[in-house]
Structure formats: C-alpha cells, structure tokens
Structure 1
Amino acid sequence: MAGRSWSPPQPRPVRHHPTDERTGPMPSPNRTEHLRGQDRRPTVEPITMRVPDACRYLGIGRSTLYVLIAKGEVEIIKLGSSTLVLTASLRRLVDGRREPRGGLVEGDD
C-alpha cells in the first residue's frame, strides 16, 4: 500500500429538501384535506369486555367490580377461563345510578 495516502470516508450529503427518493415528495397540508374523515368507520361497542376493561370503563377498581358482580348488579359470562362482562349491564348500572340534573332527588326541598 505504498504510495496511497489514507483519507477518511466522505460523509453522505444530508437531504434538507422535503423530497426523498424512497417516498417521493411530502404532501402539503392542503393536499391531504381530502383524506380527512375517509377512514371514519362507525364505532361499534363490544358486547362484552374483559374485567380490566370493564374497570376502566366504569372508573372503578377490580374488587369493586367483583362486589357488583356478586350482588348481581353486573352480569358476566364465562368462556373457558375468561370472565367477560356484558357491556349492556354496565350501561344499566350507570343509568340506574344517575342523578337527575342539579343533583336533587324528588322530595328534597
């Protein structure tokens, strides 16, 4: 290797332009307006949910949910070893415990 001088490798040029050879030009905000709302599918509420999801849904702890299940206020089904909580029973529970607007119960004056 006599006669050759060592030189460090040259760095690749950095691309600061919004065009990249792999992806093409980046879309501007105006060019993507037509895409907004296209993938909006109707939200489908599940028929059942697992216990941790039901706790998050109601904003309560696991032990409180099991107390409500034991009292019969929340319905469950068992599929194998999975405990599935019926979403409709959670809705009924909330609807049954809702207070009228203003927080007054009939008869309170």
Structure 2
Amino acid sequence: MSELILRFFIGGLFVSGFAVISDVLRPKSFAGLFGAAPSVALATLSIAFANNGMTYVQTAAQAMIAGAIALFFYSLLVTWLLLSQRIKAWVAAVAAWLLWLTVAYGLWTVSFT
C-alpha cells in the first residue's frame, strides 16, 4: 500500500512538472502527451530503482523504449490505413497491432540477446 501512495505522489509531481512545460509549448495538444506517459514512466522507474536497483531499471527502460518505437510504427500504419485505404478504424487498429507486436518483440530480442 505504501508503494501505491508513493507512486501516486511521485506521479503527481511529474505530472505537475510536465504540465508546466506543456503550458509553455505550442500547440496546446502537447499538454496531454507530456502529462501522461512520461510522468507515469518516470514514477515507475523511480520506484523500481529504489526497490530493485539499476539493472532492473535499465531493463524496464529498454522495454519502454522498444514499446515506444513499436507504437510509432503502429501509429504510422493506422494513419496510412485510415487515410489512404479507407479501412474501418477497428480493422486498422487490429491489423496494426500485429505490426506493433512484431516490432516490439524484434527490438526486445535484439537488445536482450
């Protein structure tokens, strides 16, 4: 329970910091982007470092990077399918999920073998 409370406060601190940064940046649509994922990742990595040490945090950070790169390719494919091919959104999302899984798994095996 104390880890959950600690995660809540650390996450809130990071969300507040990123909210200040995003308030300065243009366009304002960056506010949601900078308020969510980075703050959760940093809070998680901070607690993991305190509980498990640097090696664990390094592995978790590499996994987050692989997932982010895979998400980039997922987003490109979904955008292309929706705009160019006029495919239904749910079909595009499911099809692109396979690409995300392939890229994430490929990056994971390359960086951890």
> TM-score with structure 1 length normalisation?
0.20
Structure exhibiting the larger radius of gyration computed from Cα positions: 1
Higher relative contact order (CA 8 A, sep 6+): 2
> TM-score with structure 2 length normalisation?
0.20
